[in-house]
């Protein structure tokens, strides 16, 4: 994402994270909505339970990600993945 513009509040995105899908904890891309931004980070709100990088359930279903991270992308944008799915 280097050189791309930063995310904006209201934008639909996908985040690579641990989340619940059909009652099971999975690791993969999950759609959400940007609800807050600052110069370095974007906060994304989800409609399902998500887990922090240390494995804890996030009570407000919101994760922060750096604008240039490989773990966040604009919704509907297909990118090449490596063997981990990222």
Nearest to 39 by CA among 16, 8, 62, 17: 8
Q: In the prediction, which pLDDT does 85 show?
A: 60
Q: In the prediction, which pLDDT does 53 show?
A: 87
The torsion angles phi and psi of 58, rounded to 5 degrees, stand at -90, 115
- Considering the chain, what is the average pLDDT of its residues? 89
- The answer to whether the CB of 50 falls within 8 A of the CB of 18 is yes
The predicted-structure confidence for 19-49, as pLDDT tens digits, reads as follows: 999 999 999 999 999 999 999 999 999 999 9
- The answer to whether the CB of 43 falls within 8 A of the CB of 33 is no
pTM, to two decimals: 0.82
Rounded CA gap, 23 and 37, in Å?
Answer: 30
């Amino acid at each position: 994402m280097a050189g791309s513009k930063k995310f904006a509040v209201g934008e639909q995105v996908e985040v690579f994270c641990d989340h619940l899908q059909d009652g099971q904890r999975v690791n993969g891309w999950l759609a959400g909505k940007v609800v807050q931004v600052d110069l370095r980070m974007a906060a994304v709100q989800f409609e399902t339970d998500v887990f922090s990088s240390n494995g804890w359930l996030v009570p407000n279903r919101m994760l922060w990600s750096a604008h240039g991270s490989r773990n966040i992308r604009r919704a509907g944008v297909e990118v090449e993945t490596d063997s981990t799915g990222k």
